[in-house]
Amino acid sequence: MKIRDFEVTPLTNRGLLLQVHTDEGITGIGAPMNYEHGRTVERAIFDMSEYLIGRDPLQIEDHWQTLYRSSYSRQMPILVAALSGIEMACLDILGKSVGLPLWKLLGGSVRERIRVYGAAGGQSPTEVAASAREKVAAGFTAIKAGPFPRAVRHIEPPAGIDAVLDRVSAIREAVGPEVDIALDFHRATSPAFAKILLRELEPLRPLFVEEPTRSTDNIGPLLELARATSIPIATGERCTTRWGFREICERKAAAILQPDIRHCGGVLEMKKIAALAEIHEISIAPHNAADPLGVVASIHAMAGTSNFLIMEYGGGGGEGFFTEPLQIQDGFVALPQGPGLGVAIDPEGLAAFTHQGEWRQRSMRRHPEDGSFADI
């Protein structure tokens, strides 16, 4: 079997659908990370395709190492995003060629289903509490929310701290003690202010706090925060490959790693990151902000991962996109049973989800008082 050609479709969820076609009629699908740089990731995919067309799609590890090591900037997110999608599609081809779901080819499972969490949103405490109740009613037993309804100053006054506590307390009151609540700081806080908030939030018992500071730029402040709080610290959605996670693990700067399968290097690389984390007694909670195919691929990677905690259900279960969407039951999703990734793209759904027009850069959040920028 040989790779014949590549097809990339931009999606309305700021994602990309990659289809790798073979000369035997098997097509593999993958989800390379995009966000606002879709055209750049697409160009990187077609650059890599010049090497891959005409080669065996099942030589996955060799292709990954060749494309990664031949790059001058090995950990450049754009390139690793392209590589992640290609690897995912080739693994889908592998599963389809032998008629087995990918998780079985990765060594089988250590669990029967995968726990997922949903996202709650809203500007006011009342709105975010209502959103949280809706997620629980939809079957989730864990939710994640942002605690900041607006841009955050380096150090907020007491009213700013109270606003965060009111917001999180409203969620806790809405869902009760049986539901886990994770909080995404989204790198918006300075280490000094994050330390204040973590102390104040401890009585509300969050499942974890995600990205309390700019961890990928500077491990030191993240390590200081991890040592200053009893709340588990999570990070890693912006890290690429196991080398991007090495220092976090070795210094134990987080209790939970959040690799995103669409740009950490793919399914096999996520497994390697999880193995690295396991050595250091660190859990894995994959990041998946907006892509149901990324969710599916992560399910396969986590099925046999012993230190898996929970994963993000971003983009939903593929309603209107997959021919058979994923289903949530009691906060869990079943392992796919079909060959490869175990899902098929609905042609009409793909047409509806195809992005039309130009990609746009996300706007910077700014402080209304003086117009200065705020991290997001």
Tell me the DSSP string of 332-353.
EEEPP-SSBTS--B-HHHHHHH
- Amino acid, single-letter form, for residue 44: A
Element housing 4 (H / E):
strand 3-10
- Spot the catalytic one: 37, 186, 280, 355: 186
- Spot the catalytic one: 21, 263, 287, 300: 287
Helix (H, G, I), strand (E, B) or coil at 257: strand
| CA 3/CA 54 separation, integer angstroms | 5
| Of the candidates 110, 85, 97, the residue with the CA atom closest to the CA atom of residue 339 | 97
By DSSP bridging, strand 180-184 and strand 332-334 are unpaired
| CA 349/CA 9 separation, integer angstroms | 12
| CA 304/CA 290 separation, integer angstroms | 24
Helix (H, G, I), strand (E, B) or coil at 359: coil
The helix-helix angle for 191-201 and 158-175 (nearest 10°) equals 40
Cβ atoms of 152 and 187 closer than 8 Å: no
By DSSP bridging, strand 209-210 and strand 233-235 are parallel
Dihedral sign for Cα 321, 327, 332, 333, please: negative
Assess whether 287 carries a catalytic annotation: yes
CA 17 to chain centre: 16
| Of the candidates 284, 288, 286, the residue with the CA atom closest to the CA atom of residue 308 | 284
List, by residue number, the catalytic residues.
186, 287
